[in-house]
Amino acid sequence: MPVLHNRVNNEELKQRMLAETEPRTTVSFYQYFPVAEPEAFRNNLYLKFVDLKVFGRIYVAAEGINGQVSVPESNYEAFRDTLYQSDPMLNGIRMNIALDDDGKSFWVLRMKVRAKIVADGIDDPTFNMAKKGKYLKADEYNKLSEEKDTIIVDMRNHYEYEVGHFENAIEVPSDTFRDQLPMAADMLKGKEDKNIIMYCTGGIRCEKASAYMLHNGFKNVFHVEGGIIEYARKAKEQNLPLKFKGKNFVFDERLGERITDDVLAECHVCGKPCDTHTNCKNDGCHLLFIECEECAERLEGCCSEACVEEKNMPEEEQRKHRAGRENGMMIFNKSKEHPLRKHRSEWKVMREG
């Protein structure tokens, strides 16, 4: 039986990818459609994509498919056609090609079957994804967003919103998408007749959110077709004013695509204008945070003095130091109550004092 998962050391795979000379294309895609046998569908695609040297993450569920991958340029059309031909509902699926990309985002293919392609917490059997909001192309978004009765809702997490968002967009301050859905409906209660525009990175969350809002009595619901990625691409192609400012956070090695030169965020350590995400270099932390070059040099890529100290301990002592600690929980900190805000305040006092 063919091998249906990777068996090579992760670091070796990364080095192989970095040694490649052919450019790669990074692309994201999704489609809500009924998948009768997710496991069989996944296995069939996995074997074909391995042959095409596709790297990345793909999730398959009974409700559809969601993927972010990189493909050698010479294999891109074969990859796209393979996806198109895997199911009639995928023929012509929109492919969001990355704008700010060196093709070095992924180095292994991981395909998993999940209960849903987006965890939503919805258990209402009458909820129907087919009844979703209206797509808005870039020019349509620009026009509708300027109307007086339009409300723009960001359906991403705080660390994404923090570095870039559409002008006048409101944030739904929840740590998970499943909590955001009822919170968004509650926040907009009494505005059921307004124009509601929802958006996210590539379209998958805001499409489901638009269906949820319609399910909860909102009448004029829209969502940005292809999310921020497609909006930015089309707006630049058509020389439209860019309503999205700053960076678009992406879930690969880049941690962000620059859309405009606006820097909306600040270093979580010292407060200087900055929108560069990084993961703490301490193996016992790996917190995702924003750090300027000055602080990165001073703290050796770590988020705090404590992490610098732990990172520089002998390896055996590091292991003892973090024994029993729940690692990985803060890799993507989704809350406004970021643990570094306290560190930042202390550093400001120290710097100014």
Instruction: State the catalytic residues.
Output: 200
CA distance 201 to 209: 13
- Burial letters 263-296, b for 16+ CB under 10 A, else e: bebbbbbbbeebbbbebbbbebbbbbbbbbeebb
By C-alpha distance, which of 310, 156, 311 is closest to 229? 156
* Sign of the Cα pseudo-torsion (312, 318, 321, 326, in order): positive
DSSP state of 205: H
Q: Which residue has the tokens 């990189």?
A: 70
CA distance 202 to 227: 4
CA distance 118 to 110: 17
Rg (CA), the chain: 21
For 184, list phi and psi in degrees, rounded to 5: -60, -45
DSSP state of 169: P
Pair 234, 225: CB distance under 8 Å: no
Q: What is the number of other CB atoms lying within 10 angstroms of the CB of residue 250? A: 24
Q: What is the number of other CB atoms lying within 10 angstroms of the CB of residue 123? A: 6
Largest Cα–Cα distance in the chain? 67
95 CB-near residues (< 8 Å, 6+ apart): 27, 28, 29, 80
Q: What is the number of other CB atoms lying within 10 angstroms of the CB of residue 104? A: 18
- HSE-up (13 A, CA, CB side) for residue 311: 16
CA distance 306 to 337: 19
